[in-house]
Amino acid sequence: MTHRVVLLASGSGTLAQAIIDAEELEIEIVALISDNPDAQALKRAQESGIQTFLLPMKDSRDEWNEGIIQTVVSLSADLVVSAGFMRILPPDFVNRFPTINSHPALLPQFPGAHAVRDALAAGVSVTGTTVHWVDDGVDTGPIITQMEVPVLPGDDEATLHERIKKVERGLIVATIALILPTLERNV
């Protein structure tokens, strides 16, 4: 059974690419939505023949919220995957669509947009990545899977984040495979 998946991405799209390339997943990626016109993720999706939508933030947050909800409704998605999407999704969205997010820390430690920097500043010896269900908080939804990544001597934000991203790409694909059998299909 093939599930319909929508990807959300704001940046380079390496997580989205890992999902696009994962032949073992029984999914149809019906669209990639970005809020950033310069997101490399848009180009990656287009090169893979995936429909893209650009939804830049508007003056009215309510208007943007309604736009992303209506876009996903029109796509009949079974699962939404936030793969480096740097916007907080509205409660109406996450309460309506099963949505997962990949986060570059071992939640509940270091939620928010600067998780890698925060982990380094805290002096932890181990951080990692978490895939969790998205709720109406910031990185507060139920944890599905986690993997640890050691902090090495001499790590800076860029080197540590790159090692986390390598683990994150495998974990997001494995997590999607894990949860697909639990999803209801939109018919």
Q: Is 103 a catalytic residue?
A: yes
Domain 3-182 belongs to what architecture? 3-Layer(aba) Sandwich (3.40)
Judged against a pLDDT cut of 90, whether residue 109 lies above it is answered with yes
**Sign of torsion over alpha carbons 75, 175, 18, 26:** negative
Domain ranges for the chain, please list them. Answer: 3-182
Judged against a pLDDT cut of 60, whether residue 150 lies above it is answered with yes
- Per-residue model confidence as pLDDT tens digits over 11-39: 999 999 999 999 999 999 999 999 999 99
- If you ran DSSP here, which 8-state letter would residue 66 be given? H
- Per-residue model confidence as pLDDT tens digits over 68-77: 999 999 999 9
Task: Kindly report the pTM of this predicted structure.
Answer: 0.95
Rounded Cα distance between 161 and 77, Å, is: 30
Of 3, 103, 132, 161, which is the active-site residue? 103
Q: Mean pLDDT across the stretch 39-67?
A: 95
Q: Cβ contacts of residue 74 below 8 Å, gap of 6+?
A: none
Of all residues in the chain, what percent carry a pLDDT higher than 70? 99
Q: Give the helix ranges, DSSP H, for the chain.
A: 14-21, 40-47, 61-75, 91-94, 115-122, 157-179
